[in-house]
Every structure is written in structure tokens, then in C-alpha cells.
Amino acid sequence: MRSLPPSVSSRRLRWFLALPKLGVVLLLAAVVTLLWLLHQNELEEERTSLIKDVLWLEQNLRFHLARSEEQLQQLASDLGSQPDRKRLFRIRASHMVKNNPDISQIAWFDAKRRVIDALPASTPADSGVEAFGPAATQKAFELAILLNKRIYSEPFFLSGNVAHFALVMPIYGDKEVTGMLVATHSLEDLLGNLVPWWFTEKYRVVVVDDNGAQYAAKSNVSGTPSLSYELPFDPPGHGLSFRVTSYQGAGNPLQRLLAGAILVLAAGVFWSLWIVRELMKKRSNAEQALRAEHALRSAMEDSLTVGMRARDLTGRIIYVNPAFCRMTGFTSAELVGRDPPMPYWIPEQLDETLELHQAVLDGKAPPDGFEITLQRKDGERFQALIYEAPLIDGNGQHTGWMASILDVTERRRAEELARQQQEKLQFTSRLVTMGEMASTLAHELNQPLAAIASYNTGCLNLLAAGAFDPQEIREALEKLGVQAQRAGRIIRRVHDFVRKSEPKRAPCSLAEIVDDCLGFIEAEARKRRVQLASDLPPLPPVLADHLMLEQVLLNLIRNGMDAMSATPAARRVLRISARRRAEEVVVSIADNGCGIAPEVRDKLFTAFFSTKPEGMGIGLSICRSIIEFHRGRLWVEDNSPAPGGSGTIFSFTLPLESA
């Protein structure tokens, strides 16, 4: 093996020896740089902590003064409107002075600036405002009268060279200033009671003005000042500021151990590199899984037909999915970041929509959703069904609201068409019922008309004979009028029943509706030899449509009479009863007929299902629709107490007017 020349070997050895030295130099440089950076970071953290503490202190003082101001304003309001004002002042002012050590005195002046009362009462009664402070207080008093609002005075010094400021609050009575309240605050007591002990262990707090004059101070530390931060003290204002100064403390022992710790940590660098390598592999795998998850979620969002919209707690849109963009016609860039009013709101309904929007932000959204009219970008309007739910982040914090939005325009159109068809079907049902009763009504009308003709012929015969008693003519004419009114009532009842009208729920008497139905059906009941019996106690008015409810009763009564066609005549009794239950009325129609088989009962209220050979199968279906329109329920049960046969009872509920 060929050996290297000595010069080359020496050079190589020097290089190998220099490398550790270079490493030590680099390590020292790294340590020095790191220590310097740590020191700078510590200073920055100290400054940040100082600013946060100063802001906290300023806010604490501001809140305290705001509470005192609210209490004084409430006292001024009560003094202007309530009797026994002096007793009220003594009680409330004593409470404020006791619970606010910084308030050295509260004085009450009348409109002529004479003192009415003061706590503590260190000034003679009937003194003027000049007795309660220097020119600063008097100047604030004048300014409060001039501006008709509360005024803070400039700082001033009282006995013992203690700085104070005054809050002047006007008292109003009959829309004019009838007096003034003056609350004098001590700056020393304000700092002494509101600056906590831990704050004074870290900082020195001083209240100064624009010229640097000191008015109050508090601190429990000493040493060399380090950092200082100044913040305006408003209220009371007038150039006052907080100046908070931090002081250098003992050195951090961690800094002295830092160099040794770095040497220890250097040994673990190579091991940590291996750990970092493993972590990088895991991170790469996690990123790949995250990309796959994101692609899956994006595909799911793109396939959704339900619009999704997320808003923060202020109402600003932070997310919309493609379905919502297609629904409104706006792009995601046009919607995300928008504040109310939104571009898809109806212009003429902005106030109502904004009120609903605020209710959602307040957490008052209906749990079963709500409907609202929105418009697309091209101006087309559509009905939207919106469900709102809280948006919770990964830390469990409520950060906004997530809405699911459905376009229900076509559904509402279909429902409206079904409603119109149902109304036509109800009207057709009434016409069918009227047709089935036509012969009976014709017979019923024939009797009063025949009586009218008979009375008219008798009157004419008496008049033709020339010898008549006027009293006989009068009695005949009165009877003729009674029969004419009877015929008119029958015709009016038929006209009202077949007249097509819009359903309208209004308070009406259930007894009157039952009486009208019995008057309508009594002719047919006599023909079928059915006895109609009603048992209706005094009931409050029900909230219903008179004509629709009459149609339900007539249909159920006629069904009951049909069911008793094979029942012996002596037992053909149909009973109509009602009873009150909580905030509703239960109406029952019971017959002694053949009853309803169990296999038929499940399909009884199905449209176009009928047990009669000539039936259309729409009567009971319409009855159930009408009762549900009235927020009631229709059901059937056996009339088991009926002797000799089960019979049937149809019952339905109606809400009372007050429900």
C-alpha cells in the first residue's frame, strides 16, 4: 500500500483537527445566537404581557366607573319621578358610598345650585356648588346644565393633596333639568381598591396628565424600570393616562442552565433526526389519506341536492355548497364573506327577513324549520324550507350556524293544486248529497206550498162571498205567512248548503250548527222512520267553518241512518252528543246499526273506498280532511252498549275559540 507524503498527511490531520474546533465555534455561535433570540423573545413576551395586563386594568376600571355611572343615573331618574325623594337619596347614596370606596361624597343640588343633601354630609345645608369642589367641579356643573347630559370634571386636588374627579349627573323632571347629582371620586382610592395585589407585585401604576404630572400611584416593587406602557384613562378623560411600568426581576435560572441543556440536547439530535424521519413518513401518509378524504367529501358535496350554507356568529357567510349556488344562481365567490342583507333576499321583504335572520343568530330558530321566499340571481323567486343547526368546531365551541335549504316551490304548487281539488271534491260531495235529498226536499216544500195555496183559496172564497169576518181573514193570512217563512227557510238552507265559498274558520255556536243540520235532515229522517236525538250541554263557541262543519255532520248523520236501514223501527235512534275536554269539544254521532267489520275499519277513511254499492267513497275521506283542516281528529268506535247490535259511534274534536 502506497503511503501518503508527510505534507499531505499533515494537512489532512490539521483538517481533521480543525473540524471539531469549527464545530465548537459553530455550536458556540449557535448558543450565543439562541440566547440572544431567547432574550429578545422574553422581552417581547414581557411587553405583550404588560400590554395585556394594562388593557385588563383599564377595562376593569372602565367597567367599575360604568357601573357607578349607571347607579348614579338610575338614582337621578328615580329622584325625578318618585315620591319621598330625600329618603330615597339617603338610602341609595349610602349604599353607593359603602360599596364604592373610591366615591368620597355624593351631593344632591336643586336647579338653583343649592345643596339639598349630601353623603357624607361634611358641608352645611343650602350651600352652593362652589362648596363641593374647586373650579373644575363648577365648570363640569355648568357644562352638564348646558349639554343636558352627564359630565366628568377635570382632576383636582382636595385636602391632603389627594387627586379627585367628579361625575355630574342631571336630574330630569317634566322634560327639564330639576337638579344635579355630583359624585366625587378619589383617584388614590380608585387605584387602591381596583388594582389587585398581584398587579402591584409586577408593575408600578401611575395616573398622569398630558404634562406628565402625577395624580395617583400604586406599586409594591422596586428596582430598575424595564418596560413602560401608557393608555388613555377615559373616562374621566381630560388628558389623564395610565402609565404602567415593569421592573427587572431576578435572572431566570433557566437561562443559566440553557447552555448545558443545549449540550445535552445535542447528543439527542441524531436520535431525533431518526424520529423526525419516521414522523415525516407518517405525515406523508396522513396527507395522502387527507387528500383522499377531501376528494371523497368534495364528491359528496357536489352530488348533494340540498343546499348547505354556513354563517359565523355575526351572520357572515363562511361556506356554501354547489347545490346552494345552483339554487340561487350565485357563485361561491359572490356569497362567501357577504354580510346581511344577502343578494338572494326579496327587496320588499328586507325588514322581515332581517328580523328572522337575527332570530336565528339569537338561537331562536324553529326546530322544525321555517319557510321563506328567496330569489335567484335572474330575479326568479322560489319557496325555500330552511333548517338551522349550531355549527360546532373541533374544540366544542359554538362558532356559527349551518343551514340546510330545500327548494319546495314545486311541492307547494302541488299542495295548492291538491287543496283546490279537495275543495272541488267537497263541493261535489255537497251537490251529490243535495241530489240524494232532492226528492225528500221537494216533498217537504210541497207541504207549505199546498198550505199556502189552500189558505189563499179560502181567503178568496170569503172575499167573493162578501160576508166574512176580518178576524178569520187575519188568522188565515198569518198562517199563510208562517208557511211561506217555512218554505223560505228550506230554500235558504238548500242555497247555503250548495253555495261554493272559501273555507273560513270563525267562532260559531255548535248548537246552531246541529239545529240547522237537524232541520235539513228531519224530512228524510221521518221518511226513514229514524228518531233524531241531540244532547248538547252549553258550550263555548268553537273555531270552525259553519258550512264545512255542517257538511261533516250531515254526511255522518246520513251514514248513520243508512246503517240502520235493517234495524227495527223502534230502535232506529240516532244520537248526537257533545262534551268539553280541556281546550276542545268532542262531538259524537251514535247509531244502532249493523256496525263496521274490523277488516273494513282500517280502510274506512280511504278515498274512493265505500261499503255501499252506489257509494262514491269520498264522503268519509272529505269529512276527515275537513276535521284535520280544523286542527281536530276524526275516529270511529263500536257502540257496544247498543242492545241487539253493536252499532257505530263516529267522533271528532274541534278546538274552542280560546284554544
Domain 409-500 shares a fold with domain 505-659: no
Per-residue pLDDT of 180-227, as tens digits, reads 888 888 888 888 888 887 777 788 888 888 887 888 887 777 767 777
Residue 567: is its pLDDT beyond 80? yes
- State the angle between helix axes of 253-267 and 269-303 in degrees (0 to 180), rounded to the nearest 10: 90
How many CB atoms sit inside 10 A of residue 622's CB? 23
Contacts of 184 (CB under 8 A, 6+ apart): 103, 104, 105, 106, 107, 132, 133, 137, 158, 164, 165, 166
Per-residue pLDDT of 518-542, as tens digits, reads 877 787 888 888 998 888 888 888 8
Place of cell 367597567: 63
Please give the share of the chain, as a percent, with pLDDT higher than 90.
Answer: 3
Q: Where are the domains of the chain?
A: 84-247, 271-301, 304-407, 409-500, 505-659
503: preceding bond cis by omega (within 30 degrees): no
Residue 7: is its pLDDT beyond 60? no
Question: In angstroms, what CA-CA distances link 530 with 444, 446, 527?
Answer: 16, 21, 8
Distance CA 555, CA 622 (A): 10
More confident residue, 658 or 229: 229
Distance CA 514, CA 517 (A): 5
When the candidates are 3.40.50.300, 1.10.10.10, 3.30.450.20, 3.40.30.10, the CATH number that belongs to 304-407 is: 3.30.450.20
CATH 3.30.565.10 is the classification of domain 505-659:
yes
Per-residue pLDDT of 634-646, as tens digits, reads 888 888 654 445 7
> For position 61, what pLDDT does the model report?
83
CATH top class, domain 409-500 = mainly alpha
pTM above 0.75, yes or no: no
Q: Which of 48-52, 81-85, 630-634 has the highest mean pLDDT?
A: 630-634
Nearest to 245 by CA among 41, 42, 63, 57: 57
Q: What grid cell was written down for 449?
A: 206550498
More confident residue, 94 or 32: 94
Nearest to 324 by CA among 382, 274, 363: 382
Q: Which fold has domain 84-247?
A: Beta-Lactamase (3.30.450)
Per-residue pLDDT of 341-368, as tens digits, reads 888 888 888 888 888 888 888 888 787 7
pLDDT band at 585 (very low <50, low <70, confident <90, very high): very high
